[in-house]
Amino acid sequence: MKQESLTHNKVKNDFRSYVAQTKSKIDSELSKLTSILSDLKLHPEIEYAVLSRGKRLRPLLVILSAESVGGTRDQVMKLALAFELMHTATLVHDDIIDRDEMRRDKPTVHTKWSVNDAILTGDALIALAIEQASSYGEAILKTVAHGALELCEGEQMDIELSLKNPTEESYFKRIREKSASLFKASTYCGALAGGGSSSEIDSLSAFGENFGIAYQLRDDLLDLTHKGTNVLKDLESGSVTLPVIHFYGNSSPEEKRQFESKLQEVMKPNWSTSTELSESILRMLVQSGSLSYCKKKIDEHIDRAVAAVSGLKKSEFKTFLIEMTNMLRTSD
């Protein structure tokens, strides 16, 4: 047992070291890329958006997928940057749609400059992403474009989805397209560019999709339960997430009425954050088993992601992919 613990700790430490080194390289390459664009009038906005703090999960997955099938980091770095640029573009545009004024503790692009500047910045980042991916061939370029289209479709569903007849099916369709599509494209393209076989590419594609779904589920859960922040952020904006959908599907008419009454308070313009109201809503979701249900679904998709890459040849990169999924696991 002690030996197993030591081995697991070594894997975790090796993984942390790998992520830190790879993120540093990604950040360095992004910095070089934005510096080349210094003549553009939008350069300050582009640099601000691209070089803000981020997890760099999508480029990490591109690189890890390539390395797990025998490719190299340098071989797919431009492709990794393409996915980060595409992701950043969506964040810039999402912030406009959601009217968010802050991202990662910094003013959003449209807040710091203007909505027009932010729209053009997002457009420029999409163009840059296509440029970075273009040297990898038609199949990869089409996959990047298709992933972006799915993301747009998911965003539209996000706008339309409301508390009127919310269903689990519509929720999962939305996050599969809005969130998981870019993760799936990242692992697919990374494996393809890294020289993977058809079965390896399919395995990593499935890994990416399930990782992306688990990631979004966890993100939605944290938005409701994370201490020290406005835990009602999603509810305030009218966004419908799995815990809320589960609550609606498993509660009495009176419980729904009480919940909706609290939501109406949350969604009033300029409402003041109330700890008591936050705790009351959270308590209802806990008592209904809705948070536990969400955690169960996270673990299900993590297990599917791990199973998807079980057939890959043994390597530290395969181990790191699995370790990435462990970051998403929740505990009661």
- pLDDT (tens digit per residue) in 53-98: 889 999 999 999 999 999 999 999 999 999 999 999 999 999 998 8
In a domain, 307, yes or no: yes
In a domain, 331, yes or no: no
- 162 pLDDT tier (thresholds 50, 70, 90): low
What does the alpha-carbon distance between residue 218 and residue 319 come to, in Å, rounded to a whole number?
A: 21
In a domain, 154, yes or no: yes
Phi, psi of 32 (to 5 degrees): -60, -45
pTM of the complete model: 0.92
In a domain, 74, yes or no: yes
Domain count, the chain: 1
In a domain, 167, yes or no: yes
Q: Which alpha helices (H) appear in 99-167, and where do they start and end?
A: 109-112, 115-133, 138-160
Question: Residue 319 belongs to what domain range?
Answer: 2-326
CATH classification at residue 243: 1.10.600.10
Q: Tell me the DSSP string of 58-77.
A: HHHHHHHHHHHTT--HHHHH
State the average pLDDT for the chain. Answer: 89
Segment 5-25, tens digit of pLDDT: 667 788 899 999 999 999 999
- 163 pLDDT tier (thresholds 50, 70, 90): low
In a domain, 142, yes or no: yes
In a domain, 24, yes or no: yes
Of 57, 310, 69, which is closest to residue 185 (Cα–Cα)? 57
Of 107, 82, 225, 240, which is closest to residue 161 (Cα–Cα)? 240
For 224, the token pair is 């409701």
What does the alpha-carbon distance between residue 171 and residue 157 come to, in Å, rounded to a whole number?
A: 9
- 4 pLDDT tier (thresholds 50, 70, 90): low
Q: What is the CA radius of gyration of the chain?
A: 21
In a domain, 70, yes or no: yes
Share of the chain above pLDDT 90, in %: 65
